[in-house]
Every structure is written in structure tokens, then in C-alpha cells.
Chains A and B, each alone.
Chain A
């Protein structure tokens, strides 16, 4: 089971956190600090796995972002590594050449995508198309609402002229 997913930049800035096991707020910052120092200190060409407090953190670096997931020691590390890659591929597909800035400004969308891939710490969908289909279906409603809103604002703007 995945205990938490973490996105941190090379500078140690947090870009996304998702907790599947309950951690109190105070402990969260401690966990993030510990895990990020552990991972950022590791050089290239080493294992993508680190032992941490009896759990295992699987991480992978994409450009300047580190994607980390904390799993049980009995889990398959390579599989988790591929779950991370799966997530990144879907992000890439959704945003089109995803970059760190996309995730900074649209972190809520990244959360929505993550929610479609992982649920309660388990992989729920390995089909990229199915994930994207669902996310865009939800987005289309947002778009519709937005259009409504902007047309309304135009009317108001005209009325107030």
C-alpha cells in the first residue's frame, strides 16, 4: 500500500502532497522534511529506493521534480516506480509536455488526476485512456460553467456601461 505521495522540487519546495495514511499536520511537515533531505542528497545512478523509518520511499526525478511514494517494505519497488511513471505519462498527456509550472499553477488538476489513478493508497486504474476520459469529463463541466460565467459577466459589463 502507498502511504503517501510527494512531489518536491530540486530546491526542496513541495509541489504536491497526498496522504493515504492519516498523518497529523505537524508530523506531515516533519515527514516531508526528512524524506526530502534524504532524497535530494542522493546522487544519480543510485537505487531509486530509500529506506525510511521502516518504510520504503520510491522516488524518481523528472527534470527538476522529484516524485516520491512511500510504500510498505514488502511491496514491489519496481512496480511503484512504474506507477510513478504512469502518473507522469498521464500528466504529460493531459497538460501536453507537462512542466513544473503546470503543476504549480494547476496543482488541483494534478490532484484530480492522482485521485483517478490512486485511491486509498492502491492503484485503481492502469488504463491511461480511462483516466483521461474521466478527468476530461469532469473538466468539461467546469468549462461549461466557466463559459456561462463569462457570458454572464459580459452581459453585466454591457449593462453597466
Chain B
């Protein structure tokens, strides 16, 4: 009896409370809502999870109660807690016969698991069964879950049933089946590729919803291979035309726009199909023109369609009239007050200038406004646009702007992106060496640890090789300006590791080349670097190798070298280092110091980092040695493949290469723990013959210097960066196991991450330009030059000489701007103060948190009530009256199909109320309330408030807005 009573209570639980939840759940939510801190919230949830764990394990829990427990579990996991112990219960619930429970089970499973989870295998079977169910709601639930949970290997299990469901009488099922197939296609294109014809068929589905859903997979398929779908261009254009002419049921209208989401999808498809295809594009111009004409710039959705239209036009074969319309709309976007539209305008402009660069000209001031806007998103989008329109004439301004912005952001992801863009632009358009070096210095100084290490290697190569011109003088000028600036910068604290590596390498290679700086001065600087970065072995290794090179060059020139005391300390310290790499470098240095002039010259040739290294693939220099050994009675080398006696062992070996290598002696050099050294390139030329092998007793090498006999894998990898990698794959094998040449190449990108120095952009002498800018800024401010003039100038420098017309109009007095590059540069420095000034101004007033007004409020007339009123005869009339045979000859089904559907839709709409049995009562109440309301309905809110008080949930001081109508 007692048990029965509890069951009764449990059963009644479902209908308790204002929101159909049990008291327990309401209490939970309430206590979480009132939690003062994250820790308190965590405690509450932890207690709840404990409770749930106990309850779920209890076999006697009634199923209905189980559903609620599961929802509470979902709630806990949503708040970021681990509820994995309950996942299996969710899986179990999907087996339930009752739809509400099954649906909850599927919901929980889809939220808990993803296709890679182990438990999914238990759900696949249920999904399979449910896809065959008679109840279309069960099928829908199964399809929704399938979209989330069926991974690549499970696709074949459900595919046949999903395909069958494409012909299901219920449009909701067909639609979900299409979407499921789309998902399967994304997961594994090959498994669905034979079903493409089904998508084409579904395009002519009776239901516009299904047709709209079919556009998703078709878009993906067309993106993959546009050419096989060219035949559909006419159909797509026709559908778009009919949609735009309001032939679809009005229930698809959204804010008075006919089926805008379908229009957007169609425009996306047409953009792909028309790309570079004059004939296909020809079909589209009329309908695109229509859409432009009907375009509604007052509503968000209208703008979304217009934007998509611009995208389409910029992608298809260009048509002057269309481009004009697109440019016009773009300028409307740019002139708008809404940030969203400005953003879209900038994006659209970026697309249009690819076709016609002149379009940007008339919007230069709008673009500069966006660039100086406090909104980060808009700024970034504008940088993207500038990046697209960079030329050699405006590269200085743009890259300067980018770097300035880069210095001030903390978002690492974007910082890295903009840094690599700066590097790319600078490499491509650099007007002078000096500028290039300075720009790179700035980029590396502020984002050195974020850019790819390859960029650093690229810079070294560029300095070593020059810009590819024959002019040797320009190259050496580039180098000496690099050395100049590096010697100035090197003392700065907190330089990123990769930047220091570049500095050390360049100083070692070219520090003394032009005779401007004495060897001891440069060495002193390098010692400082090594001392200042005690923890960074890579930098120390670069520094010590640079010192070695300078010593070598000095010895080669016959000068007497004097060991500085700090250098001696460094050498002593490093020779006892824990890093064997550092030790070895120091020993090399010491050995080198003891060598004669001639030997040093050949070990360390000056400026040889770009020399090609010739590899003797036959190892012919070993012939005499081999010959000697053979004469002494050594067995000749037999390649492993020819060793007949050990076939079985050989095949075993080749299979289990990895394992055997663990047990046998390793003949390859162990990879160095450190990235490569730049000196290695020149050195590698000497060590080539012995690379990767045990030291060969060849007297000649010992004479030249014993350090060359060590294997030098780091040289290998580094010279790879320089494009002259030591290629060992073709080298004839003399000894050892045949796999020796595949020794692992040490990665050269183990640059340790350092804290970036965002705050310090007082880069001393490194950026004289910024100083001059500062001072000119000061004088400017005193003069009180008007802002618009500054903007004009910036515009002129950004948009190049083509902007001169507009410029002259705006400011007649400025005539000398674009005569020569030098005056142009002057403009640059003049224009530059502006941004500094702009950024000093506080970004925006602190956001008013209580301001609930949304920027774009929904139209004052309630869309629902209008829709409600429109459905019925009004919706059917345009279709019925306009069913001429003209267009139906082109698209046989669509027209009649849609008009049919409207009629059925209308009738179902009218019959619905008469269905009104008790079950639907609730919904109708809600629907009529929604339909009747204009603005927030007081009555509803009051009811809700009363319900809330009844269950004891009160709006806390924490969040007084809980009851606030979302549209309020």
C-alpha cells in the first residue's frame, strides 16, 4: 500500500508546479540562481549529482521519474559538470516504448554523446528500429538523433532506411531524411555519392520546406563539383524567381519577405554555379536585378538578401549593370548608421574590388571611419579589406596601421594572423630595405612568439640572399642596415625568442662584415644576450655559434683575437652546461681558437650560408678506404635485399623495423634536443661525408679539425630551411642497416614560448619613425589641424593616386601630395598622427547594462498577427490568379505544386481550431494569446509571475530580469 502511494505521488509529480517540473528541480534551479559564487554553484551541483547518481542506480525508480532525473542530469552537464555516469541511463531511455520518454532519451543522448562516443553503438540499433516505426513522430525523433550520432562507420546501418524515408508521406519526415543524408554526406561523401539523384528529385518536392532543406546538400555537392550541376541553373533561377514573386505560401514569409532563407540559399548556389561561366550567369541577371529592385534596406532580412546578392554578383561572370547595382547597395550599407551594415558593406566592398578596384575610391572616407571605429570586429574586417587592396604605393601606411593595431591586442589567435599578414605584405611590396627590416623588427618584437618559426627562417634567408637582385651592393646594404638595427635593439628586455635567434644569427654572420663594428663589440653584445636569457637554451646556442663565427672570421682575416672576460665566463659556464648541445658548441669554439688561419678559413668560410652544398651521392671519396679494408680481408657489403641467407629474417625485419631497431644498436645519430644552428650550414659542407654515420677513421678530417667529424643533423634540418637540404635518400649505402638514411630529422621549431611584451612598445631606437611621428603629432595638435583633412590625407595615401580626383575636390590647397614617392612618404608621416590621437580617446562610454533596447527592434506591427490574418484566402489569391502557363512550361511541377500546397495549408489552418480537443487546448491558448498581443501582454506576465511565486521562485537581486519578456 505504501509503495502504491509513493507511485501515485511520483505520477502526480509531473503535473505539479507552474512549469510542469517537480519541486525538487525547481528548488535546484532556484538555489543555483541564488548562488552567490561559482564555488557555491559547484557545490550545489556536486550535491545534486551525488543525489542523481544514487537515484539513477535505484532499480525501482518509476520511468516517469526517470525522465525528470535525466533532465536534471542534462541541466547539470549544461552547467559544465561531468555527468558521464548517467549517459547509459539516457541510452536506456531511448529503448522506451512511450514516445515522451523515448524523445527525452534521444534528446539527452544527443546532448551527451557525439558520434565518437563508445555508447553510440548501443543507440544505433534503437535508431534503426525507430526509423521503421509507424508513428512519424518516433521516426522524426530517430532522424534528429541520427543526424547527431551516426558516425562514418555506422552510416551503412541506417542508410537504406533513411533513403526509404525520402518518400514518406509526412513532409516533416522527408525533410529530416534529406538533412540526415546531408549530414552523412558531410561525414563520408563516398557512402552517399550514389544517392545524388535523390536530392535532385527532392528539389521538386511538393512541400517548400523539403525543397528548402534539399538546397543544403545540393549546395555542398555543387561546391564540390559545379560542372555536373550546370543543368540545374535554369531550375534554380526559376525557383528563385517564383520565391521572389511570392508564389510560396505566406507562412514562409519572414518579416514581410518571401521565404528569405530559401532565397539566400539559392543565391549561394547560383554564385557557385555562375562563377566563371558566362552562359550560366546570363540566366541569372534578370532575377538578380529583380531582387535588387525589390530589395528592402529597412529590415535586417532584406539586407541579408541584398548582401547575398552582392556576393553572388561578385562571384558570377561580371555584368556592368549588375555591378553598378551592387556598388550602389554597398554604398548604402557603408553609409548606414548600423555597425552590422557597415560591416557587411566592408565585406561586400572587399568582394567587389576584386572585379573593379575603382569602386573603393568613392568609399575611402567610409572605410577610414570604419578603421578608426572603436568596434574591434569592424576594425578587423576593415584590415581584411585593406589587406586585399594593398599595393606597393600604400603598403607602408597599411602595414604601419596593422602593426599599430597588432601591438595593442591580446587575442593571440588574431595577433598571429595579423602578424603573418604584415610579414606577407612586407615581403611582397616592401619599398626599401630599410623599411622592410624595420617592419620585420616591429613584427617580431611584438608578436615574435606567435608567428610561425618558418617566417623567422624566411627572414634569415632573405637577409642572406638579398632580394634576388644581382646588385651585390644592395644586399650588403640590407645586411648592414639589419646589423645596425639589431645592435640597437638587442639590449631591449623581453624580446621574443625567435627574434633573438634571428638577431644572433645575423650578427654572427654579418656583424663584422662591413667593418663598422669591431668584433669585440659584437661579441660583447652576443654575450649579453646569452647571459640575459639563462633559461632559453636555443637562444644561447644561437649566441655561442654566432660568437664562434665571428672568431673564425677574425682568425681568417689574420687579426689577433682577444678573449673578452665576459666571453670567457660564458664559455666556461656553457662547457659545464647540462645541455650537451651547448657543451658541444663551446668545445667547437675552443677547438677553433686553437687552429691556424688556413684551417679556419676552410672550416668557416666567410659569407657562405647561401653556398650550395654538393652531395657526393656515391660516397666515392670512401672508395679507397673501402678498397683498403677489402684488401685487408674484410667481407664486401651485400645489400640487405640481396642477402639470400636471411630472407625470413629480412622480411621479418622489414615488417617489424620499429621493434627490432629498439633492440639493436643504433647507428644513426641521436637527434639533438635543440633546434638547429645557423652556423651549421657552412659547417655542414664539411661534415657532409660523415653525416649520420659513426665516425670514420679518415685522417684527413682530423687534420682539418676534429669537430667536423661529428654528425650534424641540425645542419641537415637548417639547410632544409635554406632550400639546400642534404639529401641522403639517394646516397649509396656502404655500411649498416639499410634504414640508416631515414634518421629522424630534428624539428627545428621548438621555440620556447615567452610572455609577449604587449605593453612595451617604446622600442627605443628601433623605430625612429614612431618617434618622429610622436613629435609631429605634438606639433600637429598644437596647430589644431582639422580632422577631416587628416582623414583625407590618410585616404589619399591608402587609396593611392587614383584617389587624387576626389582629393582635389575636397582640398584644393593640397597639390603636392602625389608627385613623387618621397612626398608620398611625407604624407604618410603626416597622416599617421591621426590614428594615435583616435586611439587615445576612450573607446566608448561604458556599456549601460540596464539598457534593454535592442538596436533594431522588431517591426511595430506584430508579425504573427499579420501572418495569422494573411493566411487563408489572401495567401492563396496571388498564386491562384497568377498561374499562367508561361513559366510552368519551364518548371513543370513547382508552380502547381506550390499553389496546391497553399490550398491545403489554408484548409488545414481553418480546420485546426475545430480539432480543438483537450490535448491541443494549451497550445491554442498560447497561440491566440500570441496572435492577439501587440507588445507584451500584461495578463500573461502576471500569470507567470503568480505561478512563479506559487512555486517559490522569486526574481533575485542577482537577476531581476528573469520575468522580462524577451522582446520587452
Binding site for B on A (CB under 8 A): 9-11, 13-14, 16-20, 22, 25, 28-29, 32, 42-51, 53-54, 60-65, 76-79, 81-83, 85-86, 88-89, 91-102, 104-108, 111-112, 115, 119-120, 122-130, 132, 134, 136-147, 149-150, 152-153, 156-157, 159-160
Contacts and interface: CB of A to CB of B under 8 A. Distances in A.
B213 A124 contact: yes
Interface majority SS on B: helix, strand, loop or mixed? helix
Interface residues of B, number: 134
B598 interface: no
A99 B944 contact: yes
B847 A141 contact: no
A130 B959 contact: no
Contacts of B374: 46
9 contacts: A18-B111, A44-B855, A46-B339, A47-B377, A97-B929, A120-B179, A120-B180, A130-B209, A130-B251
B259 to A, nearest CB: 6
Nearest to B21: A105
Given A127-B252, A149-B64, A160-B5, A112 B103 contact: yes
Interface of B: 1, 4-5, 7-9, 11-12, 14-15, 18-21, 25-26, 29, 33, 64, 71, 74-75, 77-80, 82, 84, 98-100, 103-104, 107, 110-111, 114-116, 137, 140, 144, 147-148, 171-172, 175-176, 179-180, 182-183, 186, 208-209, 212-213, 216, 249, 251-252, 254, 259-262, 264, 268, 300-301, 303-304, 307-308, 311, 339-340, 342-344, 374-378, 380, 413-414, 844-849, 851-855, 858, 863-864, 867, 871, 905, 909, 918-920, 922-923, 925-927, 929-930, 933, 936-937, 940-941, 944, 948, 953, 958-959, 961-968
Nearest to A151: B11
Contact of A156 (B5, B251, B927, B940): B5
Contacts of B847: 42-44
Given A104-B29, A156-B7, A89 B920 contact: no
B926 A9 contact: no
Contacts of A9: 959
Contacts of A32: 80
A156 B3 CA distance: 10
A157 B1 CA distance: 10
B304 A78 contact: yes
Nearest to A115: B144
Nearest to B921: A143
Nearest to A1: B186
A62 to B, nearest CB: 4
**Taking each of A17, A119, A136, A145, which has the highest tally of chain B beta carbons within 10 Å of its own beta carbon?**
A119
Contacts of B209: 124-127, 130
A141 B29 contact: no
B99 A53 contact: no
A51 B377 contact: yes
Contacts of A77: 340, 343-344
Nearest to B417: A54
Contacts of B64: 149
A45 B339 CA distance: 7
A49 to B, nearest CB: 5
A82 B863 CA distance: 14
Contact of B961 (A63, A137, A140): A63
B307 A76 contact: yes
Given A79-B308, A99-B963, A101-B962, A120 B12 contact: no
Given A14-B78, A111-B107, A78 B261 contact: no
B261 A126 contact: yes
Nearest to A108: B71
Given A97-B937, A105-B26, A79 B261 contact: yes
A11 B958 contact: yes
Given A19-B114, A92-B966, A126-B262, A100 B961 contact: yes
A96 B929 contact: yes
A16 to B, nearest CB: 7
A97 B11 contact: no
A86 to B, nearest CB: 7
B414 A51 contact: yes
Contacts of B148: 20, 120
Given A81-B304, A120-B186, A128-B864, 6 more contacts: A10-B961, A20-B148, A62-B966, A108-B104, A126-B209, A138-B137
Nearest to B867: A128
A13 B342 CA distance: 31
B750 to A, nearest CB: 24
Nearest to B940: A97
A140 to B, nearest CB: 4
Contacts of A147: 918
A86 B78 contact: no
A119 B264 contact: no
Contacts of B380: 51
B100 A141 contact: yes
A119 B179 contact: yes
Nearest to B920: A140
Contacts of A99: 941, 944, 962-966
Contact of A104 (B208, B854, B962): B962
B920 A136 contact: yes
Contacts of A10: 849, 959, 961
Contact of B107 (A51, A61, A108): A108
**Taking each of B7, B307, B905, B930, which has the highest tally of chain A beta carbons within 10 Å of its own beta carbon?**
B930
A147 B940 CA distance: 24
Given A82-B260, A126-B212, A46 B375 contact: yes
A143 B919 contact: yes
A153 B11 contact: yes
